[in-house]
A and B are shown apart, each in its own frame.
Chain A
Amino acid sequence: GNSVTQMEGPVTLSEEAFLTINCTYTATGYPSLFWYVQYPGEGLQLLLKATKADDKGSNKGFEATYRKETTSFHLEKGSVQVSDSAVYFCALNHAGNQFYFGTGTSLTVIP
Chain B
Amino acid sequence: GAGVSQSPRYKVAKRGQDVALRCDPISGHVSLFWYQQALGQGPEFLTYFQNEAQLDKSGLPSDRFFAERPEGSVSTLKIQRTQQEDSAVYLCASSLRDTSYNEQFFGPGTRLTVL
Contact = CB atoms under 8 A, between A and B. Distances in A.
B91 A43 contact: yes
Contacts of B91: 43-44
B101 A51 contact: yes
A51 B103 CA distance: 11
With most chain A CB atoms within 10 A of its CB, the pick from B31, B99, B101, B109 is B101
B16 interface: no
Contacts of B43: 44, 89, 99, 101
A98 B106 contact: no
A93 interface: yes
Secondary structure type dominating chain B contacts: loop
Secondary structure type dominating chain A contacts: strand
Nearest to A4: B42
Interface in A61-111: 89, 91, 93-104
B53 to A, nearest CB: 12
A96 B94 CA distance: 12
A36 B106 CA distance: 10
B72 interface: no
29 contacts: A4-B42, A6-B42, A34-B103, A43-B91, A43-B107, A43-B108, A45-B106, A46-B103, A46-B105, A49-B101, A51-B100, A51-B101, A89-B42, A91-B42, A93-B101, A93-B102, A94-B100, A96-B31, A96-B95, A96-B97, A96-B100, A97-B31, A97-B56, A98-B48, A99-B35, A99-B93, A101-B43, A104-B40, A104-B41
